[in-house]
């Protein structure tokens, strides 16, 4: 017992020494070595921390020094976090039944969408303390809708509306019927759509819900596509799952998705007893919503939900959104609508070859998969070739951008983020 107690007391000191906090790693000359992850700007670190979960996130992670590094995620180019200015602003708009029209504050996060919808539905979700998101005050009017329609624009941030006057005007028109802002926040980095969509669905940040990217590790340590076969579920339930649970599976839940990884908008099988949601991957959004309305979505007082993920240009997505709104109104279903972007996609459409470059630098095929912001490593290959994650970090630190300067501002083992409080 005494040995155990001494180990616990000494643990912080061990962590401080391991990560060279302060001058704990300073050589005799008095120059301290760099602390992994800590050299990055504080706001960048905060975004990456919110997007990280130990055991699910990449083994080695990095932020670029200015040159853009891009990974293609379900056809959407996603930039790695960078010390260069990054735009994580997203549009968020609520309108329809149950929305009071009170101002939506700038800085409202994607994690506030689910709790705000729950407030509009007068629905108390279980265990609110496990989710960062809180409802926007004053937005619920007291009228309870029969249907909630969540529309997510993949790969779209506020910058897309800044560049197109017509789409910006459309957003303002929707806002005039409810409440909205073009200065919303994703709350986390990188801007991987799978992570942002699950944030919308759960009301939690990726560090809480665990769907950190398009690939995640499951409880067996196996790498799987997010929401694919053998993939881990979200650590916390979605609003749709809580509705199903509360109303004894009588709530109808529908999802019209571009990709299987969009499942985070409604979730999967978080509760052991569940019915089968109406999930349509790759289907036409407008026809699918019409079909669900014909099936009785929103027909009774038990609240239902339809979630739709859209892709393409911002203008096309706005046109589809307006058409869905018109379709629901024609069905005379009292509905609350919310529209949100997942974060601005890169304008660079060619994926970076970071994985191949790392394999070449290391001299072995160590990279299993690349996601925006990091690399998953093949532990068997590393063990067979006596390679460590530090070797991969050193290889990434040595990479140069097009201008000959270091490509990465900092590369570090993923677990270094867990000790960021010592920075």
Higher pLDDT, 404 or 308: 308
d(CA 351, CA 285) in angstroms, rounded, equals 28
| Residue 10 pLDDT exceeds 50 | no
pTM over 0.85, yes/no: yes
**Would you state the pLDDT for residue 388?**
95
Write down which residue in 284, 315, 341 finishes a domain: 341
Residue 136 CA: distances (Å) to CA of 110, 118, 130: 11, 11, 18
Residues 380 and 279 in one domain: no
Write down which residue in 341, 370, 405 finishes a domain: 341
Residues 242 and 174 in one domain: yes
Q: Please confirm whether the linkage preceding 190 is cis (ω < 30° from 0).
A: yes
Residues 155 and 288 in one domain: yes
pLDDT more than 90, % of the chain? 71
Task: Give the pLDDT band of residue 269 (cuts 50, 70, 90).
Answer: confident
| Residue 33 pLDDT exceeds 80 | no
| Residue 21 pLDDT exceeds 90 | no
Residues 220 and 73 in one domain: no
Residues 140 and 51 in one domain: no
Q: What is the CATH number of the domain that holds 130?
A: 3.40.720.10
- Give the pLDDT confidence of 354-403 residue by residue, as tens digits: 999 999 999 999 999 999 999 999 999 999 999 999 999 999 999 998 88
**Structural domain containing residue 399:** 34-84+348-422
**Would you state the pLDDT for residue 35?**
81
Higher pLDDT, 122 or 352: 122
Of 20-24, 84-88, 126-130, 280-284, minimum mean pLDDT range: 20-24
62 part of a folded domain: yes
Higher pLDDT, 281 or 229: 281
**Would you state the pLDDT for residue 349?**
61
Strand partners, 376: 369
d(CA 347, CA 46) in angstroms, rounded, equals 24
Lookup: tokens for 327: 């379709």
Write down which residue in 341, 357, 383 finishes a domain: 341
Lookup: tokens for 306: 């339809």
Q: What is the mean pLDDT of residues 83-105?
A: 92
* Residue 236, helix vs strand vs coil: coil
Residues 115 and 156 in one domain: yes
Number of domain units in the chain: 2
Q: What is the mean pLDDT of residues 261-280?
A: 89
Helix pair angle (354-362, 389-397), 10° resolution: 110
Residues 173 and 269 in one domain: yes
15 part of a folded domain: no
Q: What is the mean pLDDT of residues 97-109?
A: 93
């Amino acid at each position: 017992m005494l040995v155990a107690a001494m180990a616990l007391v000494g643990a912080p000191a061990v962590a401080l020494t391991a990560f060279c906090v302060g001058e704990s790693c300073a050589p005799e000359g008095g120059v301290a070595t760099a602390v992994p992850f800590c050299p990055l700007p504080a706001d960048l670190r905060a975004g990456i921390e919110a997007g990280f979960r130990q055991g699910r996130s990449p083994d080695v992670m990095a932020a670029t020094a200015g040159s853009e590094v891009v990974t293609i995620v379900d056809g959407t180019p996603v930039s790695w976090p960078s010390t260069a200015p990054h735009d994580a602003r997203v549009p968020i708009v609520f309108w329809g039944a149950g929305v009071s029209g009170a101002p939506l504050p700038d800085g409202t996060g994607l994690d506030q969408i689910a709790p705000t919808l729950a407030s509009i539905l007068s629905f108390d979700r279980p265990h609110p303390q496990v989710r960062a998101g809180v409802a926007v005050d004053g937005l619920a009017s007291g009228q309870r809708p029969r249907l909630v329609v969540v529309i997510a624009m993949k790969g779209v941030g506020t910058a897309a509306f800044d560049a197109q006057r017509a789409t910006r005007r459309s957003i303002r028109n929707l806002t005039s019927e409810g409440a909205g802002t073009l200065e919303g926040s994703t709350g986390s980095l990188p801007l991987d759509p799978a992570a942002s969509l699950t944030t919308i669905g759960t009301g939690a940040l990726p560090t809480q819900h665990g769907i950190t990217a398009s690939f995640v590790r499951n409880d067996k340590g196996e790498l799987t596509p997010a929401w694919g076969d053998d993939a881990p579920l979200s650590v916390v339930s979605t609003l749709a799952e809580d509705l199903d649970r509360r109303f004894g599976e009588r709530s109808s839940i529908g999802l019209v998705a571009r990709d299987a990884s969009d499942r985070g908008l409604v979730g999967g099988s978080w509760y052991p007893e569940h019915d089968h949601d109406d999930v349509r991957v790759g289907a036409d959004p407008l026809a699918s919503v019409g079909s669900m309305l014909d099936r009785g979505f929103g027909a009774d007082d038990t609240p239902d939900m339809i979630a739709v993920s859209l892709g393409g240009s911002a203008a096309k997505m706005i046109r589809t959104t307006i058409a869905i709104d018109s379709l629901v109104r024609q069905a005379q279903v009292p509905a609350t609508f919310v529209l949100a972007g997942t974060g601005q996609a890169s304008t660079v459409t060619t994926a970076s070859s970071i994985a191949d470059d790392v394999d070449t630098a290391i001299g072995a095929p160590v990279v299993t998969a690349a996601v925006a912001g990091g690399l998953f490593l093949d532990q068997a290959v590393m063990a067979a070739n006596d390679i460590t994650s530090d070797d991969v970090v050193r290889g990434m630190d040595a990479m140069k951008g097009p201008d000959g300067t270091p490509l990465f501002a900092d590369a570090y083992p993923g677990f270094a983020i867990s000790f960021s409080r010592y920075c």
